[in-house]
Chain A
Amino acid sequence: MPETETGAVAVEEGSEATSGATIQLENLTKKYPGTPNPAVENVSMEIKAGETVIFVGPSGCGKSTTLKMINRLIEPTSGRIRIGDEDVTDIDPVKLRRKIGYAIQSSGLFPHMTVADNIALVPKMVGWSKSRVKDRVEEMLDLVGLDPREFHGRYPRQLSGGQQQRVGVARALAADPPVLLMDEPFGAVDPITRDHLQDELIRLQHELHKTIVFVTHDFDEAIKLGDRIAVLRERSHIAQFDTPEAILTNPTDDFVSGFVGAGAALKRLNLTRVRDVGIAEFPTVTVEDPLQTIFNKLRNGPHNELLMLDRQNRPYKWLRRGDLMRARGSLARAGQLVHDTVTRDATLHDALEAVLTDSGGRVAVTGRRGEFIGVVDMKTLMDNVQELLEADRLTAMEHQHELEEQRVHQTEQELEGGGSGV
């Protein structure tokens, strides 16, 4: 599974920018005075370096509280927090927070400062030189896809919601922290902008390999962004902590499956790319081939259909055996134009969509410049999805087993330790 490798890759590539650090939460508990039940109870988890972990759960389940305990905006009542190799539970919280990026809903930009001033805040606080801060601001604006010359001197209220959110992310990343905490950052923007911002975050993370902890109540957002997802129930109890694939195919209990919602198999299609399934070959001819060759190929070959490519090798027309006859030998009138193609980076969801709308039940796959690579048909899709789901189910069961063992171990320890720490 590619997700498990990102951590290792991140460490290797971390020569220029700081890449992620591990985060370990040990028996974190938050109890507010005057309430019978703790808001967060005994949360333990290990987040790998360079991993994107999503906390997802119903409102009031304590996911935000858990997140805010990582940078100690909320001080834990008990438990330890380790970032990298350092125990940060007792260090100066102000210093700790400067090493952790923090992005929140509705961007949290300071309205009385320009975009550049907002981004420059943390680098200035940690004592970067003026020229370095200036360069960094330009670099960050560039990174989040905003033209530095245009946006540098603007005030937050002169930006759209999506632009504000981008600046918010730029500010969080400005001092190059290894860890980025995001508290429902895209909750307040419209669905289209949200989709763009999510794609943008995926791209950023691909470049930066930070350790990201992301809180949301939107499960679709979680499967789109997460390497792993922690589904939390009340008091931040971890119902399941696993890859999106595993959670989709094998939710541990009714609570998780209720959260996954209907159409888990369809959602699963979003997680696999066309490149990962078998792309079948298909007989082709080009528009420049003589009519007779095409004719012979159609009549003698095992297929009763051909794909005609144009001069740049791009899919042009589907040709069936009878087509040429009906068109009385005129190539221009014969066959069906190719309506839809998918790239190798398209999700299986997109591919299925294309296959369903195609009369022949298949779709041409193209490369970067639109050149023909192969086709995917309904049968390939079905077989692949079956296999994927089966594999997911097995890994999920394995993880489940491990988690249970861990829990048993933990309970044993607690019993032996006589409830120490809590």
Chain B
Amino acid sequence: MSFWEYLNTRHQQLLTDAFQHVSAVFQCMVIATVLGVVIGVVSYRSGWGGSLAITSTATILTIPSLAAIGLLIPLVGLGVAPTVITLTLYGLLPIVRNSIVGLRGVDPSLVDAATGIGMSRTARLCRVELPLAWPPILTGIRVSTQMLMGIAAIAAYASGPGLGNEIFRGIASLGSANAINQVLAGTLGIVVLALLFDAAYVLLGRLTIPRGIRA
């Protein structure tokens, strides 16, 4: 069976897997973004707080993803839970780091001006600091998403959703007729989805970065 024939006969299954893959990554990205920005906002003002946040999220990233999922199975069981936890934790580093760098990079004279004209701390954060730090934060989100697309494939190891199932099935039946097709379909599917995601982020940037600070 050629690769094209394989795609034709299995497209129903593949589309379901692809959709679940995207949906898992998207939802985890939302959680990671909220968490990451909050961690950034809380820690960027103190020197050691920022370092602590960046170092600890970086440490998480050094744990092999397969091991992380494996270690989570006895704690939270199989399926969606270990997938979501792993993906969210892995997605944190780029967002936390870019939030901190972005917020710290806001021109101090603008912060001074914002305070000086009578903005409260919250108003200053929401109306001045976060909008100005948004471009680097968005870059962090983009990098995070690319990374999670790949890591999400591993989630199939814990019976998680997504295109990883194709790859694992293929690897498990190496030598059989469709083994290579399965691995290939899963991998290419992830690459294509990642590119689509990236395009969506470019569009998002166009829509959300104010004209006055767009490069």
Contacts and interface: CB of A to CB of B under 8 A. Distances in A.
A159 B33 CA distance: 35
Contacts of B211: 155
Binding site of B, secondary structure by majority: helix, strand, loop or mixed?
helix
Residue of A114, A121, A156 contacting most chain B CB atoms (<10 Å)? A121
Contact of A112 (B118, B119, B132): B132
Nearest to B124: A94
A71 B117 CA distance: 9
A114 B213 CA distance: 11
A105 interface: yes
Contacts of A121: 117, 119
Contact of A110 (B114, B118, B120): B114
Contacts of B117: 97-98, 102, 121-122, 171-172
B112 A108 contact: yes
Contacts of A73: 112, 115-116
Contacts, number: 65
A140 B139 CA distance: 38
A71 B116 contact: yes
A10 B26 CA distance: 62
Contact of B118 (A106, A122, A155): A122
Contacts of A157: 212
Interface in A55-105: 71, 73, 94-100, 102, 104-105
Chain A contact residues: over half helix, strand or loop, or mixed? mixed
A370 interface: no
Contacts of A113: 210, 212
B116 A110 contact: no
A83 B7 CA distance: 78
Contacts of B113: 102, 104, 108-110
B212 A112 contact: yes
Contacts of B119: 94, 121, 125
B79 interface: no
B78 interface: no
Interface string A169-212: 00110000000010000000000000000000000000000000
27 contacts: A71-B116, A73-B115, A73-B116, A96-B118, A97-B116, A97-B117, A98-B118, A102-B113, A104-B113, A105-B109, A108-B112, A108-B116, A110-B110, A110-B113, A111-B213, A112-B131, A112-B132, A112-B212, A113-B212, A114-B212, A121-B117, A122-B117, A122-B118, A125-B118, A155-B210, A155-B212, A172-B117
Interface of B: 109-110, 112-120, 123, 127-128, 131-132, 210-213
Interface of A: 71, 73, 94-100, 102, 104-106, 108-114, 121-122, 125, 155-157, 171-172, 181
